[in-house]
Structure 1
Amino acid sequence: MTAIRRAGLGCAVFMALILALMTDSPVQLHQLVRAVADAGAISAQSTPLYLATGVKDVFLSWLRDSRPDLVDRYAEVYSKGSEASRKYRKWLSVVRYALGASAARCA
């Protein structure tokens, strides 16, 4: 990214995959965005985990074994299919930042 920025080009970062209740705390997201800003990105966007057919069953099985405390919440967030709920995606959209002049707000 440094070479891209030195060449005068803007660089946006796509942060994926954000795992509900595992990698999406305000502190974690703040640290991620801060690191992206420090690396020279001018913007960042995130996306939550997409649980495609087949993968969803495997992931939920792992979740039941490893994080049973999250099973009910994941059932809610992914109740309509492979995508996280609109409510969760809207909440996660707060991590979209214009990092250039406003990077100080991420500090």
Structure 2
Amino acid sequence: MKILVVDREFLVAMEVETVLTEAFPCEVKIATPRSYAMELERGWFDVIVIDSALVGTGSGDEALRARAAGTGLVFTTLSVEDMDGVEGWEGIAVVSKPFDDHHLVDAVKNAAGM
């Protein structure tokens, strides 16, 4: 499984990578909000894990295109308002930061259809 992790904080993205690669076989690519669109153009990802604060900032447009192409999405957030779901993105799992490893893994597996 190929996973793209997009976060403003590189250390947070590295934490996601560590949790996921220890949980199951997968290839994780880390991207910043600036490099996100370029990474999508370079290849296909089964799941994108993206900070909900980036939706609607340009990166959200890329997420929407990925969703339409069948890529699974998981949002991460520090925002209490987003914990019940991100407006306009009904049905997409939201995982709070700091992460509960099991919740993150389950959300990614569900997004991938595992």
The TM-score, its normalising length taken from structure 1, stands at 0.26
TM-score (norm 2): 0.25
Q: Quick check: which one's helix share is greater?
A: 1
| Higher RCO, 1 vs 2 (CA within 8 Å, ≥6 residues apart) | 1
Q: Which has the larger radius of gyration?
A: 1
